[in-house]
Chains A and B, each alone.
Chain A
């Protein structure tokens, strides 16, 4: 029986070990971030972070996650604060940028966009447009909002750069 950590809480799912993680998250825990899109790991709507790596919950059996740290959209603000060693805020720079850019339409894809975008920005704080497109290429959006999502990721990168240079300057003068 697998035991995994979801957004910091240790969980032993009631579901059998071969159950895909997605159904534990949606059916058992009733989380709203990860959501069913294809069940085939093709679209990215079910994405979560597993030990910091974007993973498709719809095809990942619970058994494969024993002892792993799973972060969903619900836990992304805490994850981001810990990863950047910054105080917790109710939204991440990427979430704020998606609102500022009015980046989405139906928004069903945005779970995967935030999960993958967060992974990208933490690994590469100032990605080029090419790097953004490459990183995000496994995530589909039927509404066609790719251009504004790219802009939002670029905006979030600028916000993060400003915040970290402010921190660095603060550190230098202290």
Chain B
């Protein structure tokens, strides 16, 4: 058997003075070398915080973004290799670690390439410039006469010196000024090519170490114990009684408790699993949620805070416009549900803590754990290790806090993994949404007015562990735009003289926990907005692509719309204009949308069975303009993933809950798309070599959701007003 993860935090901290720290986890794509671990973040103004050159003429690039399965740990190295004039084989990176890696902010909102790409590019360019300057002195020749290939510097008279010989294992000790010139895109060797990912061979041969594989010496296995499915966020969890004797027969199992936080630990994992199931706890479970049936009524009629997000021109022009469409629809709560339930390991003493988890933001997680443990943040070390794809704020902070608290209570290292029902039942769900659109156009099909009102609550700030263990009251994130209606997806792609967007913030404490779920709320926004736009085209007897085309002037939006249409071989005709008989009706639809940056366009083809209500999506085409695409294979894969997830979210995914709590607790009660239902997928990249990367992790989902909804109309002549398109909803819409 392979040795388990055996290095302890104390050993690591003891080596604080050493320049090279051996911390390589066998079988990961990362090695940790070249940097002594000290409480971070390292100074971003120093080249050494970003890049270390080794004697063997390799380099370590320190990256503050998480490999989430999207391939950014390869793509960011492409950027560095390009600027350093090194090969991919000469570069490696390390796992995120508050004692090692810089703080580039969390890996959110497709930020890895959008924010990280330019930062890594400038750092690598600066390092190259510093290396050439050192070489010029060493070789007594002007820097401008030097050339570099594979990290070997060559003079005009063919003398050679490698980066490793120049500075291997030594610090640059130079400021990162951001002024070094970067490569001309016309000379790119590696950027904008499909470099194979570093992690895939290890993942496929079974040697990649996921977080779930890590072990700490002397650790216990732990499980949280909670009611099966959360109730209202503001209610928290109240424990009425715990019968510790109910697990007396399970060897070594014991209960850990702090206020209303209940957990079990045991030496063997199966014993911890059994104990968590067997432990007899009586909970107070108030009937305070609206349940699915009363959800939207309560959201719309309960207390809200209003904010006008956009107010341009005069939307009363609607009244006199030639064609008008008023459309309202709703979107459900949906879940992240990573394929592996979230997991964390912690080793906490009364002085310090090591927490290994799958946070998308190691520095923010450090802050919340330090607060929970009442330790100074610099005494808490948080490491990111990859788990399963998470697509937003699933339970990774919650489980990291749980592991830290359990280690503190147990006085031993603890590994905690959520059970499937913990993950499904206690997720921070993508919030439900109500949208109302009123749009109008003139006789020639030029948009006149656009109004949108949206209702949803914000994201949950206090995790369940902190809420229960410290009695911290539930609290939403402070207001900021990403939690609210999105002006870019809501008409922002069109030229509209009169536009008004009104956000109704619903107080989230009486609802389910919320958080960002890949392309937050955009599927719901586009589902409403782009169906209203489509309806104008329909009323005018115009082709829906043509109608959008003539209302778009921005070249990014125009190009993704046209690229999707072209790849899907779009033929012009008005929607719902084909006479179809029989029970299988076919349709095609188009849509545009995005999240906070970049641009997405999509075409959907589907089939509706009017007898059964089954909808089968046959083909999805998605085009993204994300500025410079560094790794084209990664982005094609991201488009594929977005399109398949959108199909899943539009056809199948809905969190179910009654007045007491969430009832969708596994893959059978919260189904996702399967192999047999998967549509054919065509990804399209609109490449912009001369523009900065703007992110490609979530920007075509809104467009695809809209295209699916519009394809349903094209097939049936009916509009869906709620998703997912379950057979019963489809049959009701067709009736």
A-side interface residues toward B, CB under 8 Å?
15, 19-20, 23, 26-27, 29-33, 35-40, 42-43, 45, 73-74, 90-91, 95, 98-99, 102-111, 114, 132-134, 136-137, 139-150
Contact = CB atoms under 8 A, between A and B. Distances in A.
Given A36-B417, A102-B196, A133 B675 contact: yes
- Among B213, B641, B644, B676: residue with most chain A CB under 10 A: B641
- Among A26, A31, A73, A145: residue with most chain B CB under 10 A: A145
A40 B678 contact: no
A150 B680 CA distance: 11
B640 A19 contact: no
B641 A108 contact: no
Nearest to B388: A108
18 contacts: A15-B270, A27-B270, A30-B213, A32-B2, A32-B208, A33-B206, A38-B420, A38-B666, A102-B634, A105-B69, A105-B641, A107-B69, A107-B204, A108-B387, A142-B338, A144-B644, A147-B644, A147-B678
Nearest to A23: B270
Given A35-B340, A42-B666, A107-B199, A143 B4 contact: no
A145 B388 CA distance: 13
A110 B203 contact: yes
B419 interface: yes
Nearest to B680: A147
B204 A106 contact: no
A106 B388 CA distance: 6
B339 A140 contact: yes
A99 B199 CA distance: 10
B339 A39 contact: no
B229 to A, nearest CB: 15
Contacts of A103: 200
A159 to B, nearest CB: 15
- Among A29, A32, A103, A149: residue with most chain B CB under 10 A: A32
Contact of A106 (B68, B205, B213): B68
A140 B203 contact: no
A98 B221 CA distance: 33
B215 interface: yes
Nearest to A38: B420
A35 B212 contact: yes
B672 interface: yes
Contacts of B208: 32, 107
Contacts of A36: 212, 340-341, 417
Interface residues of B, number: 64
B680 A37 contact: no
Interface of B: 1-2, 4, 27, 68-71, 194, 196-197, 199-201, 203-210, 212-213, 215, 221, 268-270, 273, 337-341, 386-389, 391, 417, 419-420, 633-634, 637, 640-645, 648, 666-668, 672-676, 678, 680-681
Residues of B contacting A: mostly: loop
A107 B633 CA distance: 16
Nearest to A114: B204
Given A110-B203, A133-B675, A26 B269 contact: yes
Contacts of B339: 37, 43, 45, 106, 108-109, 140-143
B206 A111 contact: yes
B251 to A, nearest CB: 9
Contact of A148 (B1, B4, B634, B640): B640
Given A106-B69, A139-B675, A145-B640, A27 B268 contact: yes
Contacts of B71: 105
B272 to A, nearest CB: 10
B642 A144 contact: yes
A109 B675 CA distance: 13
A19 B273 CA distance: 11
A144 B400 CA distance: 26
Contacts of B672: 140, 142
B361 to A, nearest CB: 18
Contacts of A107: 69, 199-200, 203-204, 208
Contacts of B209: 32
Contacts of A108: 210, 338-340, 387-389
A141 B644 CA distance: 10
Contacts of A132: 675
Contact of A30 (B4, B206, B391, B634): B4
A-B CB proximity, top 4 nearest: A144-B644, A106-B69, A107-B203, A106-B389
Nearest to B270: A23
B270 A142 contact: no
Contacts of A141: 339
Contacts of B201: 99
A27 B269 contact: yes
Contacts of B338: 106, 108, 142
B645 to A, nearest CB: 5
A95 B200 CA distance: 10
A37 to B, nearest CB: 6
A136 B419 contact: no
Contact of B675 (A20, A114, A136, A142): A136
Contact of B644 (A90, A110, A111, A146): A146
A103 B386 CA distance: 18
Given A26-B269, A32-B207, A99-B196, A144 B640 contact: yes
Contacts of A149: 675
Contacts of A102: 194, 196-197, 200, 633-634, 637
Contact of B268 (A23, A42, A98, A140): A23
A91 B268 CA distance: 32
Nearest to B338: A142
B68 A42 contact: no
